[in-house]
Amino acid sequence: MPRFRRRRDSSRSARPRASTGFDRSSLSRDTVKPFELVKNFTSVALVVIFAGTILLSMIITHRARTVLLQKSEDYAKLLANNLNHQVFHKFVLPTALQFGRIQLSNELQYERMDRVVRSTLHGFNVDTVSLYDTHNVISYSFDESLVGKKGAGGLEYDQALKGRSTSRLYQSGSFLSILMGAPEKSRLKTFAPLYAEKPMEKVSGRLLGVAEITQDLSEDYRTIFWFQLLIVVTSAGIMGLLFLTLRFYVQRGEAILWQRAEERLKLEEQLSRAERLASLGEMAAGVSHEIRNPLGIIRSTAELLKKRSKDQDPAATRLLDVIIEESTRLNGIVTDFLNFARPSAPRTTSIRIQDVLGKTLSFLSPRLSEKGHKVRVNEHGPLPALEADENQLYQCFLNIFINAVQAMDEPGTITVDLFRDGDVLEISVTDTGAGVDEAILNKVFDPFFTTKERGTGLGLCLVRNIVEAHSGRVWVENAPVGGARVRMRLPAEDTL
């Protein structure tokens, strides 16, 4: 039986052994390569689609701004033509007849001009109107502070004097806001020539001056900007949702693939382990059979010689006792090998777990008394019956108790807790030894693993085989207050 020494000695006494634990890194990358390609393709495709969406939104908004600018220019030209007609018929002709000449410095003429211009443009989207004479001087403006200003027309004024209407967009704000298409202010200034109209003729008369019409397009540009932002945000939301959905299904598929790969590798490991153990078991069974017969002869011969020698030669008697003791120990090792190599199916009957424990403790009582150990059995509530092989469970508990005794260097206590959990009987055996090193907790049930210098390492392996043959489960853990704890769960029947 394997004996758990103190943690400070386990690393020294444990024999090297290849680990049989499953490692995800052992999976080939080719196993999940298709999903990696899908994830990469999904990420790249969504980035490309999102970039294309941004580019498309920029093209759409650029086209919208171009159309807005063109429509605004046409709108300003129509306003200029209408203003030209109204000013000529309602201001120029009446004023010339009344005063003889046009002179806007005259307060009456200026007020008449203001009434004509404002009534003509009332209800239209016009921010400012200024009228220039042929000498590039502002004669009239909504902004009276500009009246009389010289040379304010610029190139657009010169083009209007030549009979061509021109427009220019003025934007203000930070560089970033202008770059993104959301300036604080956007004004379109249109310069159009003013002519003296000739009735019944298509050709206009002489040039009277230039009209500057300013339209505030800030709100329109902001609307276009928010429309562009809405396109980008909506596209980003849709792309993000699509990405998360695809990523979820890809990760789910990858997880399923990993799980299946793990199960496949575990089955391959179990198959390989079973094949190795089968070969080893056949060899162990053959060797054990050949050893058992001469070993029995050696033991029986030593017992016979001891009876014959009686007390005549104390030294010979001691040697014979050693031979008998070692023969018994070797016979137990051979029995363990045979039980491991050729496990028998359980012959189940309805039994009480208390009876099996009583039989085990009765057999170990002399050894427990010799070591100074105590055993406490705690029954938590009514216990169910078990449909199990009494002899196999006896062997199972015998190995567990012997292991607990060997784990305690000083007199200690072995505590057995029994309780029912639904349709399962749980048995917990706790010693007061040093416990098990965390590094080897997952190896204690491996065949031939031992931390003792003497031992086969088959004790807990046989325990696991017996428990699993009864459709149960067994594991080892460290108790919160120290010591090792073996816990097993067995299917239960009705309460006794």
pLDDT in tens, 351-397: 899 999 999 998 888 888 888 899 999 998 888 889 988 888 988 89
Mean pLDDT of the chain: 79
* pLDDT score of 321 more than 80: no
Cβ-count burial of 288 within 10 angstroms (0-12 exposed, 13-18 middle, 19+ buried)?
Answer: buried
Is the pTM of the predicted complex or chain greater than 0.75? no
Q: Which two tokens stand for residue 432?
A: 């007061």
Greatest alpha-carbon span in the chain: 168
Residue ranges with strand state E in 371-449: 374-380, 386-388, 413-421, 424-430
* pLDDT score of 113 more than 90: no
Place of tokens 């196999």: 392
* pLDDT score of 325 more than 70: yes
Of the listed ranges 2-16, 239-253, 408-422, the one predicted with least confidence: 2-16
Q: What residues have CB less than 8 Å from 164, skipping those under 6 apart? A: 193
AA letter at 446: D
Mean pLDDT, range 96-118, rounded to an integer: 85
Euclidean distance between CA atoms 240 and 232, whole angstroms: 12
Integer-rounded Cα Rg, in Å, for the chain is: 52
Euclidean distance between CA atoms 33 and 254, whole angstroms: 10
3-class secondary-structure state, position 252:
helix
> Per-residue confidence at 311, pLDDT binned at 50, 70, 90?
low
Of the listed ranges 11-15, 145-149, 245-249, the one predicted with least confidence: 11-15
3-class secondary-structure state, position 54:
helix
* pLDDT score of 128 more than 80: yes
How many residues are there in the chain? 496
Nearest to 133 by CA among 80, 196, 208, 214: 208
Q: What residues have CB less than 8 Å from 102, skipping those under 6 apart? A: 92, 95, 96, 109
Query: Who has greater pLDDT, 397 or 182?
Result: 397
Task: Please write the tens of the pLDDT for every residue from 247-296.
Answer: 788 778 778 888 888 888 888 887 887 777 667 667 766 776 677 778 77
Q: What residues have CB less than 8 Å from 156, skipping those under 6 apart? A: 166, 167, 168, 189, 191
Task: Please write the tens of the pLDDT for every residue from 435-444.
Answer: 787 777 777 7
| Alpha helix positions (H), 134-217 | 154-161, 175-179
Place of tokens 């040697």: 319
Residue 417 near residue 481, CB atoms below 8 Å: no
Place of tokens 């033509």: 81
> Per-residue confidence at 416, pLDDT binned at 50, 70, 90?
very high
Instruction: Give CB contacts under 8 A, 24+ apart, made by 226-229.
Output: 227/61, 227/64, 228/57, 228/58, 228/60, 228/61, 228/181
Question: Kind of pairing, strands 484-491 and 138-141?
Answer: unpaired
Euclidean distance between CA atoms 470 and 347, whole angstroms: 10
Residue 348 near residue 389, CB atoms below 8 Å: yes
Euclidean distance between CA atoms 86 and 78, whole angstroms: 12
**How many CB atoms are closer than 10 A to CB 478?**
17
Place of tokens 């460290």: 478
Place of tokens 């204690």: 444
3-class secondary-structure state, position 162:
coil
Euclidean distance between CA atoms 157 and 191, whole angstroms: 6
185 phi and psi angles, rounded to 5 deg: -135, 140
Domains of the chain, CATH where assigned: 346-491 (3.30.565.10)
- Which H or E run includes 234? helix 218-309
pLDDT score, position 318: 77
Nearest to 192 by CA among 214, 165, 162, 218: 165
Nearest to 489 by CA among 428, 404, 402, 435: 428
Of the listed ranges 89-98, 190-199, 255-264, 357-366, the one predicted with least confidence: 190-199
* pLDDT score of 10 more than 70: no
* pLDDT score of 313 more than 80: no
Euclidean distance between CA atoms 477 and 61, whole angstroms: 68
Q: Which two tokens stand for residue 315?
A: 């030294």
Euclidean distance between CA atoms 147 and 380, whole angstroms: 106
* pLDDT score of 153 more than 50: yes
Euclidean distance between CA atoms 214 and 189, whole angstroms: 4
DSSP letter for 388, please.
E
Euclidean distance between CA atoms 266 and 254, whole angstroms: 18
Mean pLDDT, range 22-38, rounded to an integer: 54
Euclidean distance between CA atoms 43 and 64, whole angstroms: 31
Nearest to 211 by CA among 155, 170, 161: 161
